[in-house]
Chain A
Amino acid sequence: MSGSRTRVIFYTVAAVISLAGLADATYLTVMYLTGETAVCGGSATCFQVLGSAYARIGGIPVAAFGALAYFSAFSFAIFAAFGYARMRTFFALIVCTMFAMTLWLLYVQAFLLHAFCRYCLFSAAVTFLLAGIAIAIPPSHKRSAA
């Protein structure tokens, strides 16, 4: 299979995975805006995480930033899959940023709050998958030739 075709497949898979993250983050953002608390029903640790000060930045829920990041990752992946070369760099940059943020949030949950939230773990898994794809994408023909 040619490198170009492989890249298209990788970026398409990345776009689909980003949609899962977008759905998760959008759901949490809407739940925050409505004040709906059933989202954590029966899970004290979920409340501890989503109800903590770390779940907001300047009054804006972290999930909203997550939704924006996943949408950006999706958009860059789609454009990259259709051959927009510059978007590959943007995709790599946004995934790097999301990966760093995910590590920070996992640290907060594990060592500061001592509690984990299922939605946050799902989002972390999605970001790790995206990071894995970003690493696995073969470099472009021009670069490898250079």
Chain B
Amino acid sequence: MKRYFPFIIVVVVALVTLASGTVLYRAKRPSVLTIPKNAPVSGSDGADSIHIRGAASAPVTIEEFGDFQCPPCGKLSDPINQLEREYRPRLRVIFRHFPFPNHAHAREAAFASEAAGLQGRFWEMHDLLYREQSVWSEAADVQLLFDSYAGMLGLNIDRFKRDMESEQVKVRVASDQNHGAALGVNTTPTVFLNNRALAPINLNPTGLHAAIDAAMNATPPP
């Protein structure tokens, strides 16, 4: 019997490793939805792509104009993600760029997210940029960090670098910014709930919760 012990131990460790890895994988697997082609949303002209998280047909829409280097936007990012999960499938979130020129790396960050989006990972880069905001905002070589983020997300780094410099992403960011300006956006974060701007005082988890509940009640379930 003793001669079988090592086989048993090795097989048990292999199975435990595989099982733990599978459990961890399932727990960490991202559940985001990126819709690259435009959908009819508030004020969209239908020509450019938009970034939507959540069910495309959700009756309630949060549309955020954000700047990746703006600290209040960073603080609002997690609560909005949690709300989207909590209210799924009746809430969807749209992100639009509104980088301020006084934020040294905000435009580059917006380009980085769009370049990631061209490889299908916009929201992952969006979340990463907000979560690591305090790190890259102070970095001496921000491009090096953005490339590292792309690598961590499993993107093709050469393509990511090329895309960050491309006209396509610049036009995309400018399009969001022009759209925001046309709507009267002059600060970030600015959040629209079903096309109505929320007061800055409501831009916190409690305020957003109340506003979404009110919008849900006004919209009967399908």
Contacts and interface: CB of A to CB of B under 8 A. Distances in A.
Tell me what chain A mostly uses at the interface: helix, strand, loop, or mixed.
helix
A17 B3 CA distance: 23
A10 interface: no
A38 B131 contact: yes
A35 B29 CA distance: 8
12 contacts: A22-B17, A30-B25, A30-B28, A35-B154, A37-B131, A37-B153, A47-B148, A51-B150, A79-B6, A81-B6, A82-B2, A84-B6
B27 to A, nearest CB: 9
Contacts of B29: 34
Contacts, number: 90
A131 B154 CA distance: 32
A33 B151 contact: no
Contacts of B147: 51
Interface string A7-45: 000000000000100100011011111111110111110
Contact of A29 (B21, B124, B127): B21
A30 B144 CA distance: 24
A48 B24 contact: no
B122 to A, nearest CB: 12
Interface of B (DSSP majority class): helix
Contacts of A19: 13
B25 A37 contact: no
A33 B22 CA distance: 11
Interface residues of B, number: 37
Across the A-B interface, give the 4 residue pairs with the lowest CB-CB distance, nearest first: A51-B151, A51-B148, A51-B152, A47-B148
A52 B148 contact: yes
Contacts of A51: 147-152
Given A43-B135, A51-B151, 20 more contacts: A19-B13, A26-B17, A34-B29, A37-B124, A37-B128, A37-B149, A41-B132, A42-B132, A47-B152, A50-B148, A53-B157, A55-B151, A67-B17, A71-B13, A74-B13, A78-B6, A78-B10, A79-B10, A82-B2, A82-B3
A100 B28 CA distance: 32
A44 B145 contact: yes
B2 A48 contact: no
B104 interface: no
A112 to B, nearest CB: 13
B30 interface: yes
Q: Which of B6, B121, B131, B152 has the most CB of A within 10 A?
A: B152
B135 A50 contact: no
A26 B21 contact: yes
A100 to B, nearest CB: 24
B98 interface: no
